[in-house]
Amino acid sequence: MQKILLTFVDDIYEDLELWYPKLRCEEAGYAIRLAAPEIKTYQGKHGYPAKSDLLLKDAHSEDFFGLLIPGGFMPDKLRREAKVLSLTREFFEQGKLIAFICHGGWIPISAKILKGKRVTGSLGIKDDLENAGGIWVNESVVVDENLISSRTPLDLAPFGKAMVDFLDRNVADTSQHSHGTESMLSIESLSKGA
């Protein structure tokens, strides 16, 4: 089975918080599918485009090894989608990676999975995280079991490293992280929507 992660995308996502972890994970041999309400190109907060390649309604947690939730204003919009919340809860219950950064924490808040968990995020949602039962920690990256959280784009390097470290420890891979042509072709195919 190919090592694939899921991420949510919609307009006004935080550009760096999607693209840096996506590219970092691809470098480590993990592909990322972009799920959205529609198959189209979405615009980031700073204008960078991201083309979805999977409808939210067709996404199934069992097909993925983890979930990336970038920030921006996108999480505030998507947390109103029942499918987004159910997927997030399923990843959590299955012990799979849930990585969120900045305002991405709005989705785990609405999915009600943070009670008693150590988390961080944008200072702007600190109260929201605490009101959801999370234990706020002001650090660049916080890992609590399968939850990995970071504050802002300034924390992307440790965030990306923590994601890859978690995946490398927890994803059974019979190819022992083969980075050969076959893996790269699969990632390129997904990037092109093939």
* pTM, rounded to two decimals: 0.88
Sheet holding 4-8, edge to edge: 54-55, 31-36, 4-8, 66-69, 97-101, 147-150, 141-144
Whole-number Å distance between alpha carbons of 132 and 134: 6
Q: For the chain, list the domains and their CATH numbers.
A: 4-191 (3.40.50.880)
Cβ atoms of 74 and 8 within 8 Å: the answer is: yes
Q: What is the pLDDT of residue 153?
A: 98
Q: Is the pLDDT of residue 193 over 50?
A: no
**Which tens digits make up the pLDDT trace of 65-111?**
999 999 999 999 999 999 999 999 999 999 999 999 999 999 999 99
Cβ atoms of 162 and 140 within 8 Å: the answer is: no
Which residues are part of the catalytic machinery? 102-103
Whole-number Å distance between alpha carbons of 103 and 124: 8
**Which tens digits make up the pLDDT trace of 25-39?**
999 999 999 999 999
